[in-house]
Amino acid sequence: MRIKEKILCWKNKIVVEYYHKIMVLPGAPHKIAHGVALGTALDFFPIPFISIPVAYLLARCLKVNGVAAALAAAFFKWAVPFFYILNYLVGNAVTGCSVAVETGTGGSLPTLKQLSYPFFVGAAINAAAAWLLIYFPVRRILEMRRTTKHP
């Protein structure tokens, strides 16, 4: 039980540190919230090693907070395997495509092509949903925090 408590404490510490980093970023709340939502949404797409710089650069191009986007892309790296599974499940439900993958066959190019269509459809839907689910609460929290600190 002691190890579980240490792991939970460590995870809570990381979440609290991330929260504080976002809350003290300079800029308008809508730009910071947009950056956080963008960085999170990009983690649904298969750009694993470069998603953090891509999030930053894309945010800068969109004139939103690039640091918030990069922080969000980095923070949600632990969830990427779950995002990918969710992408396929949602894409499969929407497109009706289902591919039976045989174990031990090594994966062929036609199988990968068949898997990619539902995956990318799911990624687009999940990224849009994640953006909506993240943007509005983060913006509201930032606005509330700033009005209570600076009346």
Q: pLDDT tens digit string along 59-117?
A: 999 999 999 999 999 888 888 999 999 999 999 899 887 665 555 555 555 555 667 88
The answer to whether position 106 is within a domain reads yes
| Structural domain contains residue 97 | yes
For residue 3, tell me if it sits in a domain.
no
Report if residue 142 sits inside a domain.
yes
Determine the pLDDT at residue 144: 87
Domain residues for 94?
27-149
pTM confidence score: 0.76
Instruction: In whole angstroms, give the CA distance from residue 130 to residue 134.
Output: 6
- Give per-residue pLDDT as tens, 3-54: 656 555 655 666 667 666 777 777 888 899 999 999 999 999 998 778 899 9
Taking only Cα atoms into account, the Rg of the chain, rounded to an integer number of angstroms, comes to 18
Structural domains of the chain, count = 1
- Whether residue 22 is contained in a domain is answered as no
Give percent helix, percent strand, percent coil of the chain, each to the nearest 5. Answer: 80, 0, 20
Q: Is 7 inside any structural domain?
A: no
Look at residue 15 and tell me if it is in a domain. no
Q: Is residue 11 part of a domain?
A: no
Q: Structure tokens of 80?
A: 């990427």
